[in-house]
Structure 1
């Protein structure tokens, strides 16, 4: 199937140009104060675009981020994602951490090492989580 040409001035719909968005249960003033992105997104400096706006239906705030320079096809390939070398993975992780910090005040991490013995279901879940490549998507 052929892809339609986009009108002039519109961004390409490649995955690297997409906004990564989370909804945060806080007001826009608490999320994007002083025009600075929330920690840990601030470590990316000028490498990212950040958009903060009220979520639809008065349900908090939408925090959206994207890389200013989309990664190359090689950097965003399946092998690069599996190896944890896709630059978008860092942005996704920072966005999830920002949401956790703003809503809960801390980033919750699992016990390491686990305090119990793994069950067969737990082993399968661990395998799937490792395959997700740090992106939060299986």
Structure 2
């Protein structure tokens, strides 16, 4: 019994994390109004305005709201976007996200591409193939990379 002493705090922390995630998910995405934001290290004049969208976000022009404002501490510009209409719950589910059918993934990707274009002048992509011969670990990483579908930090 002494060997399992660590399970109680781990289970309690896990339950608290699930509770916080669920409550935050309900309050943020209740009406599909969660802002997705990137900080671009350029002045606001270079990024654009709320009416004039940068190239990767242009394909979402009629479906999203965009907010451009100065980042705190003179650290560039915050570019935020969100869908005008709520995202259907079915398309925001875990299976839809794993299948790459969540429209928020496309918006996240467009925000990251916009940041890359404005800061570096191009969207940098990883070299392919990363190894010369397929390995079991490489295949697993390739599967996760393909399935990530635009998730991740912006």
Smaller-chain TM-score range?
Answer: 0.7 to 0.9
Structure with the higher fraction of residues in helix conformation:
2
CA distance in 2, matches of 1:34, 1:51: 6
Q: TM-score, normalised by structure 2?
A: 0.72
Consecutive unaligned residues in structure 1, runs of 5 or more: 5-11
- Which residue number corresponds to residue 9 of structure 1? none
- 1:84 to 2:100 alignment: yes
Which one is further off, 80-89 or 116-125?
A: 116-125
Aligned residue pairs: how many?
A: 129
CA distance in 2, matches of 1:24, 1:103: 7
Quote the RMSD (CA, aligned, Å).
2.5
Structure 1 residue runs of 4 or more that deviate by more than 4 Å after TM superposition: 118-124
CA distance in 2, matches of 1:32, 1:69: 23
Deviations 1:16-54 (A, max 9, x none): 321000000000000015831111101111100000000
Paired residue secondary structure (2:92): coil
Consecutive unaligned residues in structure 2, runs of 5 or more: 1-18
Query: Greater Rg, structure 1 or structure 2?
Result: 2
Q: TM-score, normalised by structure 1?
A: 0.80
CA contact (8 A) 2:98 2:147 kept: yes
